[in-house]
Amino acid sequence: MNIDDRIERRLGYDASAGVVVDPDAVSPVTHPPSPTGRGPDLERLLDVLDPAFAGALPPSIYVHGPKGSGKSAIISALFGRLSTYGGRRQSIQTSTRAVDPTLPEFVHVDTRRAATRFRLYHDTLAAVSDERVPDHGIGTADLAAELEATVRTGTDVVVALDHANEPETPDVPTLVEWLSDVTDRLVPVCLGREPPDSIDWRPEVTIGFDRYRHHVLVEVLTTRTSAGLVRNALTHEQIRDVSEWAAGDAHDALAAITGAAWHAERAGATTIRPADLDAGIAGVPKPCVSLGRVLALSDSRQRLLYELVSLSEADRESVNAATEAIASTGDVDLSASTVRRVLYELADAGLLDRVTVERSDGKGRPPSRLVPRFPTLVFKELFERR
């Protein structure tokens, strides 16, 4: 976090209103350019990537660890920086080498947004190519040929495949195969939650992330709230409490804080009061699905979820009741049968829980209530602000 960034944030910000200075700085779905508290892991990654700095192909890597442990934060920050060094430029000065090495390109792909072969090739190509890549009207095979040609005439590419193995994203072996089908000069760096021995892929190197330890998470939250909220919006005590509650999960902690900050702001407060923090925490279920998964859904599905979390308790009592209520709102232009099917799909994917309700009037199978498993407060706010 440099001085320019801090000044930039203050520009255009009305200091007389609210708690939030920079929503992105405390958001659970954005990563700061310089993450806090993962120095040793960063060093391990740089050690492993070392061959790349000598112009050789680095090994394939599997980065694993629980949700909210900083995998994406570290990799996206690191690859973001490395991409500015990479590519066709001769970049490293050294007196001991006859020829300066060319660094490979480093590309960070979110498989939530690139969950098909087509989208993966599209996003990878878009990142390494100077020309713009069409979204439609071109076949996957043509895209693969284009990517192969670009890599052949350019440099190797290290591709970070973030969020593998989620319900909406392909599994690790599939992603790796998609890359190797194009050329072996695309080196995969996969990120996932499963331990290495439970995935069907043998990378050359594995790196494990552990949950944040309490004092490290406190440090992360302190850094991010000081960048994103007004001064003293949260006490140190409150940050410690959130960290304790989040049990090492930075995503959940930031979701609770963001929710609390908006709750306070809506009430016209200038600090986060205990009641705001309680509301923020209440808006994050345990266990909680990453907000990023929700935000990667198509517009129609996000709209549907927004309508769902805006429903009254009574309308959420059963899937059919929710279907009717959602389908009858003017903002949703899906048919009732599609709404119903999508609700079941979202439940199956783990974004909603189906809780069977006890029922006395009972013919037939008892209905189930839909309970969101994602940070509802933050999602609602983001949806309304977009």
Partner DNA sequence: ACCTGGTCCCGGGCTCGGTTTT
Partner DNA sequence: AAAACCGAGCCCGGGACCAGGT
Binding interface with DNA (CB under 7 A)? 116, 118-119, 134-140, 298, 300-301, 318-320, 333-335, 337-338, 340-342, 344, 347-348, 354, 356, 362-368
Residue 319 neighbours by CB under 8 Å, 6+ apart: 340, 343, 344, 354, 367, 368, 370
* Least Å from the CB of residue 345 to DNA: 8
* Least Å from the CB of residue 130 to DNA: 15
* Least Å from the CB of residue 272 to DNA: 37
- Tell me how far apart the alpha carbons of residues 185 and 156 are, in angstroms, rounded to a whole number: 5
* Amino acid making up residue 223: T
* Least Å from the CB of residue 107 to DNA: 18
**Minimal CA–CA distance to 188: which of 290, 113, 91, 104?**
104
In this complex, which beta carbon is closest to DNA, that of residue 231 or of residue 363? 363
* Least Å from the CB of residue 293 to DNA: 14
In this complex, which beta carbon is closest to DNA, that of residue 148 or of residue 219? 148
* Least Å from the CB of residue 365 to DNA: 4
In this complex, which beta carbon is closest to DNA, that of residue 286 or of residue 341? 341
In this complex, which beta carbon is closest to DNA, that of residue 35 or of residue 170? 170
Q: Each residue of 124-152: b (16+ CB within 10 Å) or e?
A: bbbbbbeeebeeeeeeeeebbebbbebbe
Residue 224 neighbours by CB under 8 Å, 6+ apart: 25, 26, 32, 36, 254
> Are residues 336 and 329 in contact, defined by beta-carbon separation less than 8 angstroms?
no
DSSP state of 210: P
Q: What is the largest CA-CA distance in the chain?
A: 84
In this complex, which beta carbon is closest to DNA, that of residue 236 or of residue 341? 341
In this complex, which beta carbon is closest to DNA, that of residue 232 or of residue 337? 337
Percent of residues in the chain assigned helix, strand, coil, to nearest 5: 50, 10, 40
